[in-house]
Amino acid sequence: MTVPLLAGARPAVRARGGLGRLVPVITVVFFLVLLLAPGLLSRTGPIDTTDAFLSPPSAGHWFGTDQLGRDVLSRTVFGARPVLAASLLGVVVAVVAGVALGVAAGTAPRWLNAVLMRVVDVLLALPVLLIALILIATAGSGVRSIVIALGVAFTPGFARVVESSVRKLRTAEYVQAAEVFGSTALRTSVRHLLPNLMTEVVVLASSAVGWAVLTASTLSFLGLGVQLPQPDWGSDLAAGATSLATSWWLATFPGLAITVTILLANFSGDQLMTLLDPREGVRLKQSLPRLLGRRPARAVHPGTTTDPVPTVEKEAAS
Amino acid sequence: MTFVLRRLGSAVPVVLGITLVAFLLIHAIPGDPATTILFGANASTEQIAALRTQLGLDRPLLTQYLDFLSQLIHGDLGTSYLTSNSVAHELLSRAPSTIVLAVAAIVVAVVVGVPLGLAAGARPGTVLDQVARGVSFLGVAIPYFFLALLLVLLLSVRLDWLPAIDDGTPKGLILPAVSLGWGYAAILTRLVRGRIIEEYRSEYVRSARARGCGEWRVLLAHALRNSSIPAITTIGLQFGNILTGAAITEVIFGRAGLGSFLATSISNKNIPVVQGAIVVIGIGYVLINLVVDLVVGAVDPRTRLAGAR
C-alpha cells in the first residue's frame, strides 16, 4: 500500500501557503468535535425517534429522517465516532508496530533482517481488506476488531519504508561515528535513527488515515462494525442502499460524510508532505514553525535547498 | 539473467509464507474445526474424534503443513465443508467473473487516468489541470461502494440508461467497472501528472526539444514512455486491492463471483474455502508483480539493479 501511496500522493507543484495551510488545523478540529462532542452539531440523539417517517430533507430535518423517524443528520454526526476512532487508532497501532519492526529489522543482523522482511513481504502480498476480513473472522466483528485489523494490515507498509530508511541512515557518518564511540544499538535507534525517521513517518501516517477511513467504512458497510441501532457511516450507508430509489437521502449523507472525511485527511496529508517533504531532509523540528505559519513557505526549485540541511539526510532520502 | 533468477528467488519465500498463513488459519479460528463442521452440540465425542482423524487434525503441525503443501502442489485446495465440492473447482468456477471485473476496472483507470494525467502534467496550472486535480482528489476520496450507489441512483433509477443489477451482459459491466476503476483512475492521474512535470524538467526532454522534436512527440514518445513504468508498477502493486474491491463491487451489483462466495464462507467459517482464497489471491498477486518487474526490467535496464545489494 505504501509505495504507490507515497508515489501517487506526492504533489509535483507545491501548494501555495495561504488557506491551504489551515486545512490540517480545520481537519483536526473537525475530527476532534466528531470524536469527542458530536452533540455540538446535532440537537437530537441518533436513536431518538420522531413521528416523521422517511421525510425528505427539510428545515426541521436537514438531512431528512429514516424509516423509524430518526434524524439522519444526527445519525451522520454521531456515526462518525466508530469509523474515525477505529481508523485513527488503527493507524496509531500500525505506526508504532511498523516503526518498531522497521527499526528492529534495519538494525538487526542480516539473517534476522531477511526473516523479518520476508514476513513483511508476505503480509504486503495480501490485500489489506483480505487481511482485515480474516482477522475479523477469527476475532469477531466490532470496532475493536477493526482497530486490530487495520493495525495489522497497515503495519507492513510502515515497516517496509522505515526499514529501507534505517538501512540508508546506518551508513550515515554521524550514525557510524556514534557506533564507533560505543553507542548501543538501542541508543543509536532512539537518539539518532528515530528523530530522522519522524518526518517520513508523519507524512506516511497522515496519508494512511484516508486509506484507513476507507477500509474501516468498507468493513462497517459489510456489517462488521458496530451493532444496530447504533449509528455508523458504513452500516447506515448499507442500510440506506436498499431504499435508494425511494429515499436517496438515507445513503447519500453518510456516504458524503465518508467522502468529506477522506478528502480532508488526504488534503491535510498533502499539506504536511509539502511542509515536511522527506526528500528535502527538513527535520520535523525545523519545520514546526512553518507548520504553525510563523515563517512564509519558501519557493522551492528542484535541486536547490536553502535550508541548512545536513547532507547525509539528503543522501538518505534520495 | 541473474536479475530474473534473483527476482524468482525472492518470490519463493513469499509464496511459502502465504501458504503458511493460509495453513495456520485453521488453527487460529476459535473453536475446533471438527466441532464446527458437525455443528457442535449434537455430535458425540466419538464422531468429533473420528472427523478430527479424517481431517488429519490429530497429527503434528509440521506433518499437517507438509501435507497441505503437497496437496497444494497437486492443485488440491481441499474440500468445502458445506458442499463437499473441491475448493479449487468452486474457486475456479467463480474466479473468471471477478477477474473480468478487475480487468475492466483497470481498463477504466488507464483510459481515464493516463490521458487526464498527461494533459494536466503537460500544462500545469491551466483550467484542465485544475479539473484533473479536482477529479483525482474526489476520485480517491469517494469510496467505490458509495460511488456505485450514486451511479445507480443517477444512471439507472433516474435516467434508466444502464442496468442497476449486473445481468452478465457487457452493458451490465459498465457501472461496476466505472465505480471500481474511478479511484484507481484518480491515483493514475496524480501519478502521471507528477511524473510528466518532472520529466519535462529533465535534460533529455530539453535536448529533444533542442533537436526540434514536436511537442506531441516529446510528450508521447519521451515523457509518457518514461512515466509509464511507475504507472505499470502501481497497477501491479494495487492489483490485490483491485481484486478485493471487485469482490465487494460484485456483491453490490448482485454479480455472481468470488465476492459473495468468500463473504459467506468467512461468516460460515468454511475454512478450506478461505484458505484457498488466500493462497490463490496471494500467489496471484506475487505472480502479477513478478511479471510486472520482469517486464519493467526488460523495458528499463536500470531497474534490474534496484534489488541488488
Query: Residue A153 maps to which CATH number?
Result: 1.10.3720.10
If you measure CA to CA, which chain A residue comes closest to B241? Answer: A127
User: Does A85 reside within a domain?
Assistant: yes
Residue with cell 421525510: A55
User: Does A203 reside within a domain?
Assistant: yes
Of A222, A252, A266, Cβ closest to residue B141: A266
Q: Do A263 and B266 touch (CB under 8 A)?
A: no
* Residue-level pLDDT, tens digit, chain B, 309 residues: 677 787 777 788 888 888 888 888 777 766 666 666 655 556 677 777 777 777 667 677 777 888 778 877 777 777 777 677 777 888 888 888 888 888 899 999 989 888 888 888 878 778 888 888 888 888 888 888 888 888 888 887 777 777 777 666 777 788 888 888 888 888 888 888 888 888 777 788 778 778 877 777 777 777 777 777 778 878 877 888 888 888 888 888 877 788 778 877 877 777 788 888 888 888 888 888 888 878 877 777 766 665 443
Residues in chain B within 8 Å Cβ distance of A133: 262, 266
DSSP assigned state of A9 = H
Of A59-68, A147-156, A276-285, B79-88, least confident by mean pLDDT is A276-285
Minimal C-alpha gap between B43 and chain A (Å): 23
The interface predicted TM-score (ipTM) is: 0.78
CA atoms of B30 and B53, how far apart (whole Å) = 19
A186 Cβ under 8 Å from any chain B Cβ: no
Does pLDDT of A277 surpass 90? no
Residues in chain B within 8 Å Cβ distance of A1: 237, 241
Residues in chain B within 8 Å Cβ distance of A10: 194
If you measure CA to CA, which chain B residue comes closest to A245? Answer: B157
Residues in chain A within 8 Å Cβ distance of B146: 237, 251, 255, 258-259
A299 Cβ under 8 Å from any chain B Cβ: no
Of A3, A241, A267, Cβ closest to residue B149: A241
Task: Name the packing angle between helices B87-122 and B271-299 (round to 10°).
Answer: 40
pLDDT of residue A94: 92
User: Does A2 reside within a domain?
Assistant: no
Of A7, A11, A244, Cβ closest to residue B149: A244
Cell numbers at residue A313, please? 539526510
Q: Do B137 and A267 touch (CB under 8 A)?
A: yes
Does pLDDT of A306 surpass 70? no
Residue A284 sits at the vertex; the CA angle it makes with A283 and A290, to the nearest 5 degrees, is 105
pLDDT of residue B1: 65
If you measure CA to CA, which chain A residue comes closest to B202? Answer: A302
Domain interval for residue A87: 27-292
Q: Which helix (H) or strand (E) holds B294?
A: helix B271-299
User: Does A7 reside within a domain?
Assistant: no
A9 Cβ under 8 Å from any chain B Cβ: yes
Going by C-alpha positions, the residue among A216, A85, A211, A99 that lies closest to residue A155 is: A99
Of B157, B187, B243, Cβ closest to residue A8: B187
pLDDT of residue B29: 67
Of B141, B188, B274, Cβ closest to residue A134: B274
Instruction: Please provide residue B270's backbone torsions phi and psi, each rounded to the nearest 5 degrees.
Output: -85, 80
**What's the number of domains chain A is made of?**
1
Q: Do A222 and B248 touch (CB under 8 A)?
A: yes
User: Does A258 reside within a domain?
Assistant: yes
Separation in Å, CA A140 to CA A144, B15, B29, B269:
9, 27, 10, 11
Query: Partners of B86 in the beta sheet?
Result: B79
Separation in Å, CA B165 to CA A203, A277, B249, B257:
40, 45, 11, 14
If you measure CA to CA, which chain A residue comes closest to B236? Answer: A4
pLDDT of residue A187: 79
Cα A132 to its chain centre, rounded Å, is 16
A72: alpha, beta or left, given left = phi > 0 and alpha = psi -120 to 50?
alpha
- Cβ-Cβ contacts under 8 Å between A and B: the total is 147
Cell numbers at residue B288, please? 502479477
Minimal C-alpha gap between A114 and chain B (Å): 10
Query: Which of B29, B118, B140, B274 should be substituted to probe chain A, the one whose Cβ sees the most A Cβ atoms within 10 Å?
Result: B140
Cis ω before A229 (30° cut-off from 0): yes
- The pTM of this model reads 0.78
Which residues 232-251 on chain A approach chain B with CB closer than 8 angstroms?
A: 237, 241, 244-245, 248, 251
User: Does A238 reside within a domain?
Assistant: yes
Q: Do A210 and B141 touch (CB under 8 A)?
A: yes
Does pLDDT of A110 surpass 80? yes
If you measure CA to CA, which chain B residue comes closest to A133? Answer: B266
Q: Do A12 and B193 touch (CB under 8 A)?
A: yes
Minimal C-alpha gap between A44 and chain B (Å): 26
User: Does A299 reside within a domain?
Assistant: no
Residues in chain B within 8 Å Cβ distance of A12: 121, 124, 193-194, 197-198
Query: Which of B137, B146, B182 should be substituted to probe chain A, the one whose Cβ sees the most A Cβ atoms within 10 Å?
Result: B146
User: Does A304 reside within a domain?
Assistant: no
Q: Do B194 and A302 touch (CB under 8 A)?
A: no
- pLDDT digits over A182-219, tens only? 777 777 777 777 877 887 788 788 878 888 898 888 88
Q: Do A262 and B140 touch (CB under 8 A)?
A: yes
Q: Do A121 and B238 touch (CB under 8 A)?
A: no
